[in-house]
Each structure stands twice: as C-alpha cells, then as structure tokens.
Structure 1
Amino acid sequence: MEGTATLKTEPTRRVTVGRWSAELLPRQPYEARYTADRALLGFAFDSQKGVHAYAGDRIRPFRATPNGLAYVPEGCDVYSRSPAGGEYLAVKGFDLDEAVDVPFSDRMDPAAIAAAHAMRGLLLAVPVAEPVRCEALMNVLIERLSCQMQSRQSSRGGARWMTAQRRQRVDEIIEARLDRMLTVQDLADELGLSAGFFSRTFRQATGRSPHAYILDRRIARARALIAAGAEDLSAVALVSGFSSHAHLTTVLRQKLGVSPSALRANLFRGGL
C-alpha cells in the first residue's frame, strides 16, 4: 500500500435528537483537557492506550478495553492523551435517576455493545438515517449505563485473568497477522492456553468473541487505509485480511451499513 495519498482520518460523525446528542470520534492521536459540562456516556470500539487523570487525580497510564462502556459525571475535570487513539462513541444530554460522582470505564455489557455497534452504523450513513432509531439506541445505552451504576458484582475470574498486558499481546499478534489466516487456536497457542479457556476469558474481558474481535480489527484497518487515500479497494481488502473486494464490500454493508466506495466518497466530500 505504498504511495497512497497524505494520511487523512474520517470526520467526526454527529447526530442530535431532542436534548440527546451522539458523536462518533475517529481513531486518531489526541490530547484533551476539559471539565465535563454534562454527564458523558462513552463507548470504546478499539483497544486504546495512553495516560489520563480524572477529578484532579494524578496522571496515570491507561489501556481501554475494546467494547467497554464508560461514564464521566458532570463537572468532572478530565485530562486524556493517546498517541494512537481509538474509535469512540460519546453520548450527552441525558439525565440519570441515580447518577454517581465517580467516573468509570471498561464495563462489559452485551446489550450496550449491540446498541453501540448499531449506532455506529447509523452514524456512518450519509445523511444520518432514522432519527427515531438513533434515539432508541441512545436510550438503550443510557439504560445499560444506569444498570451498570447499580451493579455491585465483581469481575469474573476469567475477565481478571485477561490483564491489560495480555490484551496488548493479543492485539499485537492480531495486528501482525491480520492479512493472513488467523485462528483462535493460533492466539491461544501464543499465550500457552487451550482454545476453550482463551475464548471464554477473552469474551468476558472484551464482550466479544475472538472471531468477532478479529473481524472488527480487519474492518478498522480497511477503513484506515481508505481514509489514507488508498484507491485500489481490492488491495485494501487483501491487506486487511478479506478474500476479495466483494468480501470486503459484503462485510462492510453487513456491519456498518455502507460499502467501501460509499465510505470513501462520504469521506472525501467532507462526510457529514
């Protein structure tokens, strides 16, 4: 993929329905310091690392879990910096019956995961489709956030075993072999585990099966290459681990609701 155009990221996608608003932030390096003027619900699509600080606490390293739900209360001081960033959904404008003052992240919630991925598909459409559907999905996310606040259950043993260091190792293996055949057994072998134990612990820690997570990473690479200006979509498909341009097109339509050519056209005419 040498000789492509100057690196360009996808635009931020936004939708507002009544008092609620949602933004889909692209994967890119960032540094941010702000005081939250409203409570914020966040959802990290990607594994992400950097440093952050909340409510005046000292700056600490962090590694966000993919498909993790997060919360920042109103009035909370936030500093965050990441050299690579990660695709992120932010929802604002909501009220909670029992809001808490302590921020949190990396909460695994299957219903929230499904809603966030569906919301991403709507935001990638141009123009943004179905405001009522957007509102329904934001409502699901807010309800799941409220349930997470009320939950006092501790993490299961498998999720605790999949530490940040082990997740990083899994990410490194996947990125290095994304353009080739990659099985769950391959990943389990790298960590010295059985495929069954690895699959269970990985799902508990990330909210996704290994197969679904690998597909997410293939889609993310294809989108990054398209955003960087790659013109040969067949080459993009192969470098991203898809068997053909047709395979890539089918997957993007199924998962994001948009074809590769439409995604590129939306990006280079300014997106939303």
Structure 2
Amino acid sequence: MTLSLTPAPSDAPGEAAALALDGLVTLAELPEVWIRHQALAPFQMEYDGRRPMVIFLFNAAQPARGGPAFPRGAFSLLVPGEPRRLESAEPVETLAVAFSPREGIRLPAVSTPPPGTVDPGVHALAHEVRRVLLTEGDEARAYLERLTDTLITRAAQVAGGAPARRRPDLAPFNLRRVQEHIDSRLPERITVDELAAVAGLSRGYFSRAFHAATGESPHQFILARRLAEARQRLDAGADDLSLLAIQTGFSSHAHLTTAFGHAFGMAPQAYRRRMAGLAAPDSEPR
C-alpha cells in the first residue's frame, strides 16, 4: 500500500484531478482500489468517468453551483462514462474510493443514489476507512482491503446494483466489529438495527448472515454474552445481584435470575455459593 500526504496527482483515485492541498490529502493505492481522503478544506474534483467511484461526505456541503445542500454522511456512486465536476462552496471533508469493476458487483446504469442519500452502513464503513487510513498505515493493508471491498459492496447494494448472494455472508472483520460493539455496550439496550449498521448491512440480511456465521440469532448471542459477563463477575466476587443485573444489561434481578438458571442450571446465588465452596480450603487434613 502506498500512502502519501501530498496533493493528489491527476491520475489519482478514479483519474480525478483535485485541488492541490499540501498536507491535507492522504492517498492509498491497493490492488484494484484507489483511496483519496481530504481533510476539511475547499473541495474541487474533476471526475473523468474512467473508473467507478464512491464519494462520501463527512460533513454537510453546499454545491458551488447552487442546488440543495448535501447532508453530513451523504454519498454517491459515480459510474464510468459520466464525467463531472465536483465542487463545494464551503470546506468539506471527503473520502473517494475508486475501483476497477469486479465480479459480483453490478453497477447501476447511471450514477446513483440521488444526491444527499445517507446510509448507516456506508456511514460506518467510511468512518472506519478514514480511521485506518490515517492512523494505522501499511500495517493495516489487509484490513483496509477488506474494508474498502465491503464499502464498495454496500454502496452498490444501496444504489440497487448488487445482486443478492445465495448464502448470507458476514466477513470475519465485520463479525469481529459487531462482537466488540456488543461487548462494549452490554449494560445498554442493543438493537438488531444498530448491529446491522455497524456491519454495513440491511437488517434482514444481517440477521441471516449473523446466524449463518455464529449459529445464533443476534438476540441469542447478546443474551449469551450478558450471561457470560455475569458469570465472570460472580467468579470475581460480585455479591449485589441487582447491581449485577444493571451492569450486564438485564432489566431486573428477577430477569437475570431466570436467564441464568435456564443457561447454567442454577440461580446466580446458588452458583456463587458453589464457587465459594470450591475456592475454600479443606477444613480437615487429608
């Protein structure tokens, strides 16, 4: 992967000529993918339409030539054969991902979706691409390749160009991100819509793909993680079960007790007594 903090040359991502902005543009070249991130600054790009390209806006922007403003998180999928000039009337932070056409990605006939479209999956993926690009560099090459591939796939799905796969598939890095998100928010309410957004997938597709990858529904997996955390805290000496229920995302002491009993065959109190007995030294010499 080649990273640069210099202005984008005229043959950079998507063969798009951009304003020369010293120190504000980061470029990355991967196999069949070209990435250009521009920090908050005046934006102008001549897109010649030779390669498809995803353009993402990290903040709201007003087109220089008038028209409705684009909201923060808006994106477009530009298709070959449609050269255009992209210019903002005010500073904007952008991510451009150009790519060679590939098998499994069916591009729409015209650039789409409509200007101003916001998708939670594209939003989450674009932010992760930016983070990896700006903070991890060459060490994250493989991750960045998979990440941009997922971003391209999701953008094409939203644009209506990607065919549905016969078997739902959740990439390993996406599964890891979902699992980490769940573990970091166990005390809170976690919804399937929220997890689907983290994975960059629709709710229905994510549910099927998650079950195919883990053998459990998202709800079952979240419950198992909460129970595992509760058991670990009991092992560590937790004794206030009402507080433990709150810390692990159960609605009440009774809810925790019921779920724990179904999973482990005993109530939390009985489990705690059993663990305490196993940890105590023998009272009689052998």
Range of TM-score over shorter length: 0.3 to 0.5
TM-score (norm 1): 0.46
Q: Which has the higher contact order (CA 8 A, sep 6+)?
A: 1
Q: Larger C-alpha radius of gyration, 1 or 2?
A: 2
TM-score (norm 2): 0.44
